[in-house]
Amino acid sequence: MNVRTRRVPAPAERSSRLQVLALPLAYVLASTPGCAETSSSSSAQQQVECDAEPLVRTTGEGVEFVRTPSGCFESLPGFDYELQSVEIDGLRQGYVDEGPADAPVVLLLHGQPTWSYLYRKMIPVLVDSGYRAIAMDHVGMGSSDKPIDITYYSYLGHIDRLEKFIEALGLREINVFVQDWGSLIGLHVAGENPDWFARIVVGDGTLPVVPEGIEPYPRVENPDELDRDLEFVFQLIPPQQFPFYDEDCNLIGGTGTDFGAWMEYAMKAEAFHASEVVEALTWFDIPADEEAAYDAPFPSRLYMTGPRTFPSLVNELGGANQQAWAGLMQFDRPFLTIWSSNDPGNLGSCATQDRLIDNIPGAAGLPHTRLPESSHFLQDDQGAEIARRIVELIEST
């Protein structure tokens, strides 16, 4: 791979949360592989401290990116997994691959602003049950490379990379679990390539169909401007979450969060960091060391372009999903929904879950559920139970 590099000074100011990430957290990536090859950690590779000056690299196609220092992924609690990568379009796509290579595949797709760490409670259950668990990090997230220009990221670009990832690893008869933006990406790929998938399981997600030419929300103005004063409702939710729904599945006292405000906060707020969002949108309090692990891929704002831009990609949905949704409405293999009982966003609503159940043939007759004591990031709240239900689905169908 033709990669140019230049060093840039570490930011003079970082949020206090991101400064914590200078702790010795690390994994080691092998040298960059070819497009159809993978690489994994190796003690022979030189480790890079998490607080090292950012090194801006450039692909042969002129895309500038940073790679999270290996020191940021060491000794993450509950995540003793070898991080691997495959090169796609000159950028490393990171992933975890556990279990027998010839076992049935369970592909796990995260959303924003998380990474494969979100699946630390599901992977061991799947592997112990005899399956191959693959948790992929979207570009700009986790152990994947991180382009630094917001214009690099696009909805269809994420879809294209997932398709290339599946092809590079030669995956077929896939059992997939998708959540949040992982569902908007994964369900699109499944709708257009249904023969790749044996079963689909969705947790708090969907595939929106937006008319062509429609942008649902105003674009964020001055997106690269750093705003030290922006706040968001997540900051008001206590570590131990309180109930958002009544017994009839109606939101108590409101209509949920303002997504346009979320787009602006994620893109511009100095205070924005991954663990803040995960802590707010989980039922249980997350220990401090696990919060730091969610932030580990992002030692400074330079590394955060991916999670910053994800919410704004909603304005790229116009005309993008009609064909994929039509494909999903013909999907007659098992299609299971496992929802949380306390997600205040649109993806967690009963209406969103019912739309999938009512329109996709493979959903008929399956044990759809809303798990108690769980919120938007239900993999963190109830990961072992979700994995158990996935295993049960595979073995019963």
Residue pair 27/42 in contact (Cβ under 8 Å)? The answer is no
Other CB atoms closer than 10 Å to residue 182's CB: what's the count?
A: 27
Count CA within 13 A, CB hemisphere, residue 251: 14
3-class DSSP string for 86-130: EEECCEEEEEEEECCCCCCEEEEECCCCCCHHHHCCCHHHHHHCC
How far is residue 207's CA from residue 187's CA, in Å, rounded to a whole number? 6
DSSP summary character for residue 245:
B
Distance separating the N- and C-terminal Cα atoms of the chain: 43
Are the C-beta atoms of residues 259 and 42 closer than 8 Å to each other? no
Question: Using the 8-state DSSP alphabet, how is residue 219 labeled?
Answer: P
User: What is each CA distance from 295 to 17, 141, 367, 388, in whole angstroms?
Assistant: 8, 10, 35, 27
Closest to 73 measured CA to CA, from 120, 122, 109, 126: 120
Tell me which residues are annotated as active site. Answer: 180, 343, 376
- The DSSP bridge pattern shows strands 83-88 and 64-66 to be unpaired
Sequence-distant (6+) residues with CB within 8 A of 316 are 154, 155, 156
Q: Burial letters for 282-312: b for 16+ Cβ neighbours within 10 Å, e otherwise?
A: bbeebeeebbbbbbbbbbbbbbbbbbbbbbb
